[in-house]
Structure 1
Amino acid sequence: MQSSSRRSGAAAVLNIGEVLAQLNADFPSVTASKIRFYEEKGLISPQRTPAGYRQFRESDVERLRFVLALQRDHYLPLKVIREYLEAIDQGQTPENLPPGVSIAPRMVSEGLARELESRSRRLSPEQLRTESGAGLELYETMLSYGLLEIQDGSFDDHALKVARACTSLAAHGLEPRHLRPFQAAAEREFGLVERAVGPRSAKRDGTSSVRAAETAREIAELCLSLHSALVHARIAEMETP
């Protein structure tokens, strides 16, 4: 039976058993423990649910095929394969690939791809206001309270998300001056994330930096899930007679 994500046309999310089923025809010796070993070595970085279950996407499966083929057909050590993946994650074509080895276009993890896209997109103040629906007064107030930071005369995609949230909250009577605690909380949560990934991000190689960023996003999502659960628990108290 197909998963709901595949039935709906959304990007497929697979569990480790479904990944094994996809790989088994070409790599019958692959096991769940081997996949977990590759994750420990930083060759793949599947997403995790709040409960800790691995979620694999097409990019993770493509990376696994790449690793498995290089090990089976060319007997390459993981150190060399990791260097190839590092180059791919940086948008480069690895040098000295064995003959016949090709790179799938989806091998860069989706989280990293979204991050790279958000970094490259820049919006002018006018574009930010238009896409977020913020009026001039609200825009200037968000700037004055530090909720928005303009860099080189433009904003990134994260700023657009902030502006959209502030615009929607303003419709409920929550003005930027009321939202300053969110900025302080974000700084505290970032401190926790930075402390958790610090040893990995301190390494100078590109692969470690990429994995540190992906781990940081995962921890941030877990922090948001915790925050949401705590707030909803208090809201539930309001409903108690």
Structure 2
Amino acid sequence: MPGTAASANASGQGRLHGIGQVLALLQPEFPELTPSKLRFLEEQGLVSPARTAAGYRKFSDADVERITVVLSMQRDHYLPLKVIRAHLESIDAGETPALPGAANSASFLAGARRYRRAELIQAAGATRALLDEAISASLLPAAEQYGDDALGVLTALVALRGVGIEARHLRGLRAAAEREAALVERAIAPSRRSDPADKARAAEAALELAGHLETVRTSVVRSALSTLGR
């Protein structure tokens, strides 16, 4: 059960944030985050914000970090919320379960890190010019802060550049991704109603479908490359 704002402060959870403040903190990295999405995460038992006497939700720093982890797991691993909830419940119980679909659960959960542009460039071993090229090719968004997925993309671009594959050569990936997104949008259109909860469920279904598309795409690419060893 959610606690009160007063009890949250007393328990040493630090600052408390309203919904608008949480959106301001996280939307640069997760632009799809909305008030209805936050309420849906609460309904699904993934976060339990405190409440003021007037009933307003107040999120602690720990809540914000947990939301970051949940959204990162959705975005980076296409995991449904029920799987994420079960995984986090195991972590809360003191267990160390492997993250479904990820090789290193511990580092992911300890991370959910955000990088400023200079930090991202340094961590990836890249250059400012390469980051700018990635943004120009629509492979990365223009932002002040980035997550671990952006680090993975930029690190991959560094390796690709080493063999002569430049970011500009990959512009077609954005077009292909937009075509796949259009397929997913058409598939979930019947389930998207005006109710915020329905919209949040449709968004979760979209992420699951994206995961299936990723599986198919990876298999097709591997099949195409399999002839190289013959």
TM-score where L is the length of structure 2: 0.50
Please show how residues 159-170 of structure 1 align to structure 2 within 5 Å.
159-170=150-161
C-alpha distance in structure 1 between counterparts of 2:72 and 2:128, whole Å: 32
Asked whether the 8 Å contact 1:133–1:167 carries over to 2, the reply is: yes
- How far off is 1:238 after superposition? 3.1
- Paired residue type of 1:88: G
- Paired residue type of 1:176: A
C-alpha distance in structure 2 between counterparts of 1:92 and 1:142, whole Å: 37
C-alpha distance in structure 2 between counterparts of 1:167 and 1:149, whole Å: 17
C-alpha distance in structure 2 between counterparts of 1:113 and 1:161, whole Å: 13
| Aligned CA distance change for structure 1 residues 236 and 169 (closer, same or farther; 3 Å) | same
| Aligned CA distance change for structure 1 residues 113 and 236 (closer, same or farther; 3 Å) | closer
TM-score where L is the length of structure 1: 0.48
C-alpha distance in structure 2 between counterparts of 1:146 and 1:113, whole Å: 20
Please show how residues 176-215 of structure 1 align to structure 2 within 5 Å.
176-206=167-197, 208-215=198-205
| Aligned CA distance change for structure 1 residues 90 and 146 (closer, same or farther; 3 Å) | same
- How far off is 1:156 after superposition? 4.0
C-alpha distance in structure 1 between counterparts of 2:41 and 2:175, whole Å: 40
Asked whether the 8 Å contact 1:87–1:93 carries over to 2, the reply is: no
- Paired residue type of 1:211: R
Equivalence for 2:131: 139
- How far off is 1:187 after superposition? 1.1
- Paired residue type of 1:125: R
- How far off is 1:165 after superposition? 2.2
Equivalence for 2:73: 114
- Paired residue type of 1:86: E
C-alpha distance in structure 1 between counterparts of 2:138 and 2:195, whole Å: 32
Equivalence for 2:222: 232
- Paired residue type of 2:146: F
- How far off is 1:135 after superposition? 1.6
- Paired residue type of 1:136: R
The unaligned stretches of length 5 or more in structure 2 are 1-39, 52-62, 76-108
| Aligned CA distance change for structure 1 residues 91 and 172 (closer, same or farther; 3 Å) | farther
1:130 alignment partner, one of 94, 119, 122: 122
| Aligned CA distance change for structure 1 residues 157 and 169 (closer, same or farther; 3 Å) | same
Asked whether the 8 Å contact 1:200–1:212 carries over to 2, the reply is: yes
- How far off is 1:91 after superposition? 4.0
Asked whether the 8 Å contact 2:42–2:48 carries over to 1, the reply is: no
Equivalence for 1:71: none
Which is greater in Rg? 1
Give the length in aligned residue pairs: 143
The unaligned stretches of length 5 or more in structure 1 are 1-82, 95-104
| Aligned CA distance change for structure 1 residues 194 and 89 (closer, same or farther; 3 Å) | farther
Asked whether the 8 Å contact 1:125–1:154 carries over to 2, the reply is: yes
Q: Which has the higher contact order (CA 8 A, sep 6+)?
A: 2
3-state SS of paired residue (2:45) = helix
What's the RMSD between the two structures over aligned residues?
Answer: 3.6
Q: Does 1:150 align with 2:107?
A: no
- How far off is 1:90 after superposition? 5.9
3-state SS of paired residue (1:146) = coil
Equivalence for 1:68: none
Asked whether the 8 Å contact 2:126–2:158 carries over to 1, the reply is: yes
The percentage of counterpart residues that share the same residue type is 30
- How far off is 1:93 after superposition? 6.6
